[in-house]
Chain A
Amino acid sequence: MLQQYRPLDGSRIAVPDSVLGIEMADDCTRFNLRIAGTGIAPAGKVFGVTLPKVIGQTAASGDKLALCLGPDEWQLMAPLDERDRIEAAFAALYAKVPHSLVDISHREVGIVVEGSAAAVALCSACPLDLDEMPVGAATRTIFDKAQIVLIRQGRDSFRIEVWQSFADHVWGILQAAGREITLEI
Chain B
Amino acid sequence: MLLIRCPHCAAERPEVEFVYAGEAHISRPRDPAVLTDEQWKNHLFIRSNPRGTHFERWRHIHGCGRFFNAVRDTVTDKFAMTYKAGLPRPSEAEIREARS
**Chain A contact residues, CB within 8 Å of chain B:** 55-56, 69-71, 73, 127-129, 132, 139-142, 147
Contact = CB atoms under 8 A, between A and B. Distances in A.
Interface of B: 1, 8-14, 16-17, 62-66
Contact of A142 (B10, B62, B65): B62
Contacts of A147: 62
Given A55-B9, A56-B11, A140 B63 contact: yes
A69 B8 CA distance: 10
Contact of A127 (B9, B16, B64): B16
Given A141-B17, A142-B17, A70 B64 contact: yes
A35 B67 CA distance: 18
Contact of A55 (B10, B14, B16, B17): B10
26 contacts: A55-B8, A55-B9, A55-B64, A56-B9, A56-B11, A69-B65, A70-B63, A70-B64, A71-B8, A71-B66, A73-B64, A127-B1, A127-B14, A128-B14, A129-B12, A129-B14, A132-B11, A139-B63, A140-B62, A140-B64, A141-B62, A141-B63, A142-B14, A142-B17, A142-B62, A147-B62
Nearest to B15: A127
A178 B97 CA distance: 46
Contacts of B8: 55, 70-71
B69 to A, nearest CB: 15
